[in-house]
Structure 1
Amino acid sequence: MSKAIWCLLILGLVSLAGVAWNAPAWATMDMKAFHERCIMQVGDDCTSMCGSFEEAVSVDVTTLEQCRAKCNSLAESLRTNDAVSDCSGSIGTAMDLCLEYCQSNH
């Protein structure tokens, strides 16, 4: 092989190693991280739902299935509530983060 191909191959391997080194293999999301990400990703008028999701998964949740059920149940409840109808996209975002929290902690 030519020197150029070897250099590209080595550069690619070094790049992949750098990505693998910096990426946490089993990172967990704590409640603070959940809250911060939720506040940043949902609409400004919908941030109160982040606290609702936090409460839902922080009490009496011992298994992944219980945690996921609470996220799904709360999202369904919020979707049917007329008071938050302008937040339908944000409900999905908060629910996805809630499920991610469950997955990383149970």
Structure 2
Amino acid sequence: MAIANRKVIAKMPLDSHNPIQQPLQALPLTPREHDVLRELAQGNSNKTIAKTLSISTYTVDGYVKDIFRKLGVRNRSMAAVVAFHHGMLEMASPVKHTTQARANL
């Protein structure tokens, strides 16, 4: 099992010249696991993910464990890195954040 984990991590382009998202081979996840990973990678708690996807927190816990196992990662941060490198997250423009912050004042 440890060997498989190394292969997944070795394929992640963390040291590439282009730090922007690089689509790799498809992740071995179900569509619902993709939804959970996307929410997780945005920093949402399991409780928030459950509310957003209209499922129980226990179901989210199960999905998170399955995602970690399938991706060969140990924590939410590592899962977020995989999601980013597979193009699952959009890069937020600093201008958008500044404009939104001013609008909220």
TM-score by length of 1: 0.33
Whose Rg is larger? 1
More helix by share: 1
The normalised TM-score by structure 2 is 0.33
